[in-house]
Amino acid sequence: MAKRTATRRTCPKGHIYLKSTDCPTCPACELEKAKAGFFIGGMSAPARRALKDLGIDSLKKLAKHTETDILAQHGLGPASLPLMRAALKAAGLSFKA
C-alpha cells in the first residue's frame, strides 16, 4: 500500500493544515467546535458529526432513538455509548426501548 503525501489546505475560516486523506474536515475547526461545547462532553469528532447529520442536537432528541439505531450510524460506535448513556441518565432520560 502506497503512503499518501500530505497536502496543504486552507479551510473557509483561514486555518491552514495538512491532510493525507480526502477528508475535508479542518482539525482546527473541529477543535473549536469541541471547545464551544457539545451537548455531550468528550464525544469524538466523527460521533459529533454523525449525531449532527441525524439532526440530533439535544439529549431529548437522542432519547427518541434506540441504542441499536444509534450504533447503526457511521461514526457512532460502542465507545460512544457510555458517554451518551451517562449524559442521558444525568438528565433523567434514557434511550428508547
Residue whose C-alpha cell reads 491552514 in the numeric block:
16
Residue/partner pairs of 53-61 with CB below 8 Å, 24 or more apart = 59/87, 59/88, 59/91, 59/93, 60/93
Q: Where in the chain is the domain with CATH 1.10.150.20?
A: 39-97
Which string of DSSP letters, residue by residue, matches 9-71?
EE-TT--EEEESSS----HHHHHHHHHH--SSTT--HHHHHHHHHTT--SHHHHTTS-HHHHH
- Predicted confidence at residue 96, as pLDDT, reads 94
- Predicted confidence at residue 65, as pLDDT, reads 96
H or E stretch covering 7: strand 7-10
- Residue 2: pLDDT band with limits 50, 70, 90: low
The fold adopted by the segment(s) 39-97 is DNA polymerase; domain 1 (1.10.150)
- Predicted confidence at residue 24, as pLDDT, reads 82
From the number of C-beta atoms within 10 Å of its C-beta (0-12, 13-18, 19+), residue 74 rates as exposed
Q: What is the mean pLDDT of residues 2-18?
A: 87
- Predicted confidence at residue 23, as pLDDT, reads 82
Least confident of 20-29, 31-40, 44-53: 31-40
